[in-house]
Amino acid sequence: MQFFLSDEELRRLAEALAPMLAQRLAHREPAPTSKGYLAPDAAARYLGVSRKRIYDLTSMRVLVPDGRDGRTPLFTRATLDAYVRRATVGRTPTGASR
């Protein structure tokens, strides 16, 4: 299913959703950490992806761990946030024109 929105419709939708998203993020429980690091399970929950996806990204060297606990890769939120920013640069929503 695809939706095609004009730039104006997309702007109005974003303005309507922004307060709801901000409220959800403000009430979001932080993922469990060990000295500021997230294990793959917690990193997956933080990004909203599967644990396998975290391991796949690590294997492809798209997502580089900030440290390790034995063989377990550990990530900081800053690293995960940077990955999201890199992954979304240049993308436009479906139906939006550049």
Which pLDDT tens digits describe the chain residue by residue (98 residues)?
Answer: 777 888 898 888 888 888 887 777 777 655 455 578 999 999 999 999 999 999 999 999 999 999 998 999 999 999 999 999 988 876 655 555 55
pLDDT given for residue 26 in this prediction = 73
Domains of the chain, earliest start first:
7-88 (1.10.1660.10)
Exposure string over 8-28, b if 16+ CB within 10 A, otherwise e: eebeeeeeeeeeeeeeeeeee
Cα 13 from Cα 20, distance rounded (Å):
11
pLDDT at 95: 56
Unique residue bearing structure tokens 């929105």: 5
Strands 67-69 and 72-74: antiparallel
